[in-house]
Structure 1
């Protein structure tokens, strides 16, 4: 599938600019195996790059103007790369303007170039197409003009570009898009940015994303509320246990001993965060041992916490996980991403994938009257130059 996308993108470039591209960049979306809603709580996350990508084709054009085509949208824009960047009403262009803004802030000087891009990352599925867009665009400019920006800094500048657009994301999406390694997950310490790779050999199981095809409007307001509630919980813990500086220093008993001093919501949010930080550590140990059954159980536990304690699930996601729990050929499933819609990430026994997909799709449609989108994913490399 990616070869078709690459051929289509490079052919579009050739047809549009009457010459072949100099640089072709592949920038992946990402999944997160476990560690949800703890990137902003100084926890650990366990993401991986996947084999769904944005393909970019680049070439210098000996001017001060970047000419950029979004093939899938059939839209294009031109921008003077030497001028101060401003937000536009055309939303997708802002992610690229944000990258140019970051380059200017850090004193990098570039010239004009041509760029076209196309994607097979499913939009709206929580696979971080925006991070792939920012990081792939910056990676290509870095290669085109030999700027010498290190991969970790590409991730950080991509995150800053998204902040400039107005989305206060953590570092996980950009980090995993840039730093991903085939058949590895990367455990990221969201406090220090230290990272370690762990085997992602799921042996007898396939990773399948079941996309609920819904996105409830609660997400933005509730996301902000969760951050506030976690902050309140941590302040109460620190006031009673001065040696604790973040949730990662906590044990469950620290939280449970303070239940009477917290509102019910603050208590349950704090308890979820402490448990989830531990689950990431346990998941890494399980992966290192090839113990995929334990990993699956941890995924189910995470979903229960996200649904009952953190309350960011919804009826559609809960139903998909209920189906997974009742299915003997599934060993783990949970909602992935911010919640209130999007995907579940599910470990399905190899050989039974098509039967499970068919069954889930029918039952889901019968219950909600919504078509289930289904995506097979494999753990893949991070942003890279394509060499044919």
Structure 2
């Protein structure tokens, strides 16, 4: 594939100069949803699907962008002298946002570049294609321009900064961290309150991870993601009047039940309850996985989905249909929505010999109920963003 993308790059931009290639994965969160901006724990892993990029430095201040996935958009252009979001810039607002962030963080990029990307992550699926493009751009800028003293954790923080301050999505740190710090055959147990983390081997002998993409398109910026975050922030402020905490993730279930009456609305109480209980579920999930109890891990995945459905209300008909149907299939250990919700994907762990029938049965029932097809991906856990050798 690399040679094909290089050939395409030369077709689009012309030959010559030094071409450099990079890769940034997508990510799936196994459990711990909507906890990352509430000071809680998450448990994501990088995937072997992601965004592949070919780059070449320029001598002027022009940036050019081309996506093999969106050929009708043609070549999009930008300038280092005008680093601001533009509606007509489409997906190129993500790499431009990263260039802007490097400058904001004291590493201004002094010449433009040509960039071609090809993504194997389903668009708007909730597997973090936008963060993948951010991290791809970040590792490319660091390498091409010889930026020193910027670690992979720094790059993750840069990605969050760009999303929040350039692209207008009030996201947490999980996606960027998983993509920049991913490790083959491991998930990352991350405390988002202080960025302490550990790698946890995922040993699924005789089992597979299957992603089901609902194909219901959504955009984070125009979804209710920011609304949910605001509801949690308001609930936190109400709780802080009666208990000394910095984040919802500081509370145990028992402490939450003790103080929840301080929250002034039933809706905000349910939002906060999800954040607290999901954080504790994630802690337990990592413990049982370390102990080799995959069945209990699956039960916690299921409970996570119920909480996201009932308390956080971010699932919707499509995701609920995928999960409800998955729960009824032979060989399924656990299934839940993953990502922000409102569309996107589910993640299921199931026995390897059940994969074929799972995809057939869930796919058939989903299409009958929803009216269009879901796509299925049997995924592997891969490494984080870096040079594409």
Assess same fold via TM > 0.5.
yes
For the pair 1:290 / 2:292, whether they are aligned, the reply is yes
For the pair 1:367 / 2:369, whether they are aligned, the reply is yes
For the pair 1:60 / 2:53, whether they are aligned, the reply is no
**Residue 386 (structure 2) aligns with:** 384
CA distance in 2: counterparts of 1:64 and 1:224, whole angstroms: 34
CA distance in 2: counterparts of 1:257 and 1:195, whole angstroms: 29
Counterparts of residues 203-282 of structure 1 (less than 5 Å): 203-215=205-217, 220=222, 222-241=224-243, 243-262=244-263, 263-282=265-284
CA distance in 2: counterparts of 1:21 and 1:107, whole angstroms: 22
CA, structure 1 residues 108+39, in 2 after alignment: closer, same or farther (shift >3 Å)?
Answer: same
CA contact (8 A) 1:10 1:21 kept: no
**Residue 118 (structure 1) aligns with:** 118
Counterparts of residues 42-57 of structure 1 (less than 5 Å): 42-57=39-54
Q: CA deviation at 1:297?
A: 0.8
CA, structure 1 residues 20+299, in 2 after alignment: closer, same or farther (shift >3 Å)?
Answer: farther
CA contact (8 A) 1:212 1:372 kept: yes
Counterparts of residues 126-137 of structure 1 (less than 5 Å): 126-137=126-137
For the pair 1:7 / 2:3, whether they are aligned, the reply is yes
CA, structure 1 residues 113+221, in 2 after alignment: closer, same or farther (shift >3 Å)?
Answer: closer
**Residue 26 (structure 1) aligns with:** 23
CA distance in 1: counterparts of 2:320 and 2:330, whole angstroms: 18
**Residue 99 (structure 1) aligns with:** 98
Q: Is the partner of 1:358 in helix, strand or coil?
A: helix
CA distance in 2: counterparts of 1:229 and 1:167, whole angstroms: 15
Counterparts of residues 295-374 of structure 1 (less than 5 Å): 295-374=297-376
CA distance in 2: counterparts of 1:364 and 1:221, whole angstroms: 23
| Residue segments in structure 2 that go unaligned for 5+ positions in a row | none
Moved more, 50-59 or 10-19: 10-19
CA distance in 1: counterparts of 2:220 and 2:159, whole angstroms: 26
Q: Moved runs in structure 1, 4+ residues, more than 6 A?
A: 216-219
Q: CA deviation at 1:340?
A: 1.9
CA, structure 1 residues 202+21, in 2 after alignment: closer, same or farther (shift >3 Å)?
Answer: farther
Q: Is the partner of 1:94 in helix, strand or coil?
A: helix
CA, structure 1 residues 245+85, in 2 after alignment: closer, same or farther (shift >3 Å)?
Answer: closer
Q: CA deviation at 1:330?
A: 0.3
CA, structure 1 residues 61+371, in 2 after alignment: closer, same or farther (shift >3 Å)?
Answer: same
**Residue 155 (structure 1) aligns with:** 156
| Residue segments in structure 1 that go unaligned for 5+ positions in a row | none
CA contact (8 A) 2:169 2:221 kept: no
CA distance in 1: counterparts of 2:221 and 2:68, whole angstroms: 29
For residues 71-128 of structure 1, the C-alpha deviation after alignment (integer angstroms, 9 at most, x for no partner) is 22222133333x2412222221211211121122224343233322111111011011
Moved more, 219-228 or 337-346: 219-228
CA contact (8 A) 1:44 1:189 kept: yes
Question: How many matched pairs?
Answer: 381
For the pair 1:85 / 2:87, whether they are aligned, the reply is no
Q: Is the partner of 1:187 in helix, strand or coil?
A: strand
Moved more, 141-150 or 209-218: 209-218
CA distance in 1: counterparts of 2:355 and 2:93, whole angstroms: 39
CA contact (8 A) 1:219 1:339 kept: no
Moved more, 213-222 or 57-66: 213-222
CA contact (8 A) 1:59 1:113 kept: yes
CA distance in 2: counterparts of 1:60 and 1:378, whole angstroms: 33
**Residue 192 (structure 1) aligns with:** 194
Q: CA deviation at 1:24?
A: 0.7
